[in-house]
Copies of this chain bind each other. A is one copy, B any other.
Amino acid sequence: MSDAPHLTLDLNTPGVTRGHLIVPGGADQRELSLPVFSLNKGQGPRLLITGGNHGNELEGPIVARRLIEWLPEAQTCGRVIVLPVLNPLAVQAWSRNTPLDGLNLNRVFPGRADGSVTERIADAVSRVLLPMADTIFDLHSFGPTWDFPPAATTHPIADQDLMAKTLGMAEAFKLPLTLIWDYSDTAGMFDILAQDQGKVFVCAEFGGGAVGMDSLAIYEAGVRNALIALGLVDGKGEYPMFRQERSGQTLETHPSDELKSPAQGIFEPRCSVLDEVKQGDLIGILHPMESSTAEPIDIRATGASIVIAIRSGAHVKASEAVALIARRMKTSTD
């Protein structure tokens, strides 16, 4: 039957199995077949790895495909399901949202079986794959107009036990930044749905701009570290090199930590991600480009903090975010 989302592979088959997650067709789009890889080594943790949630964040799909090459050998127990591209329509268009219905997949979970194509993808993932996993890694990146360090992130979770488990899992990636992101626009996000079901969900972020060989190596090392921490792979996690350093820190950021542009123009970054700044330090400069007499406007830090995201030379409107700062929560142990 083609009117319910389903898998063309049996996840109970031992070893590596390849197939598709079928997302039923609708008035807007015919049936989609999303490649799925099942790596079943029996008892143990049950992990779902997804990429391509947003179509212009392609580190995730690449790292997911690289995993499929070495994980079958390395995995010692448990079950891993890999879905490299959640939203092929957005990936093919190099677009954050699905061009067909304009929806952001990461705002429509758990989706709707009778909805538009983006909602049907969310519905298929929520009903068919999510129940098969206790832990989820969703591999994002920060998009092309921001600079952001390699990071494992979570939103704050009301359940303190799940929060501690999630934060521990995020820190196990051993990326330069572990971030607790207090974010206001979380309705319909994949992680909120999974956490409401008591699952551990870590969102990897990375970026922005060019997806280079070096950044992919860091990203993949982070995922490997997390697989080791979960007990799925033997080995010892190590901090990958980022900007000549091997270290990590755990920070928290709140909605009020966004620095906004004072006017329309081109934003020039004057600091780098993970720079520590104190009150009055220059974060960037806004160049109004429409007038020959308007002077550049300095954008300065309002307090001691660490810059975690900075807009990369984009044209921005007034009040658009140009930087995100964070504060130290605690030093990452280990």
* Chain A residues packing against B (C-beta within 8 Å): 18-20, 33, 35-37, 52, 55, 58-59, 61-62, 65-66, 69, 84-85, 88, 91-92, 94, 144-147, 207-214, 216, 266, 268-272, 287, 289-293, 296, 312-315
Q: List 13 A-B contacts (CB under 8 A).
A: A20-B292, A36-B292, A37-B292, A61-B266, A61-B287, A66-B268, A85-B289, A94-B315, A144-B145, A144-B210, A209-B312, A213-B269, A213-B270
Q: Which residues of B contact A296 (CB under 8 A)?
A: 65, 69
Interface residue from B20, B146, B212, B289 paired with A88 (Cβ < 8 Å):
B289
Cβ of A313: which chain B residues have Cβ within 8 Å of it? 58-59, 62, 210-211, 216
How many angstroms from the CA of A315 to the CA of B62 in the assembled complex?
10
Do B35 and A269 touch (CB < 8 A)?
no
Point out the residues of chain B lying under 8 angstroms from A52, CB to CB: 289
**Distance of A58 Cα from B292 Cα, bound (Å):** 17
Bound together, the chains give a CA A132 to CA B46 distance in angstroms of: 69
A35 pairs with B315, CB closer than 8 A: no
**Residue of A61, A84, A315 contacting most chain B CB atoms (<10 Å):** A315
Distance between Cα atoms of A84 and B212 in the complex (Å): 29
Q: Pick the contact of A91: B207, B266, B268 (CB < 8 A).
A: B266
- Number of copies of this chain that the complex holds: 2
Closest Cβ neighbor of A294 among chain B residues: B35
Contact between chains at B58 and A314 (CB < 8 Å): yes
**Complex Cα–Cα for A188 and B58 (A):** 34
Instruction: Determine the distance from Cα of A84 to Cα of B291 in the docked complex, in whole angstroms.
Output: 11
A88 to B289, CA, bound (A): 8
Which residues of the other chain, B, contact A315 by a CB distance below 8 angstroms? 55, 58, 91-92, 94
Interface pair B213/A289, CB less than 8 Å apart: no
Pairwise interchain contact B94-A289, C-beta atoms closer than 8 A: no
Q: How far is the CA of A62 from the CA of B213 in the complex (A)?
A: 27
* Pair A292/B18 contact, Cβ less than 8 Å: yes
The interface residues of chain B lying within 8 Å CB-to-CB of A55 are 315
- Measured in the bound complex, the distance between the Cα atoms of B92 and A120 in whole Å is 34
* CB-contact partner of A19 in B36, B287, B292, under 8 A: B292
Residues of B within 8 A of A209 (CB): 144, 208-211, 312
Identify which of B88, B269, B293, B314 contacts A94 (C-beta below 8 A): B314
Q: Are B208 and A312 in contact (CB under 8 A)?
A: no
Instruction: For A268, give its contact among B33, B216, B268 (CB under 8 Å).
Output: B216
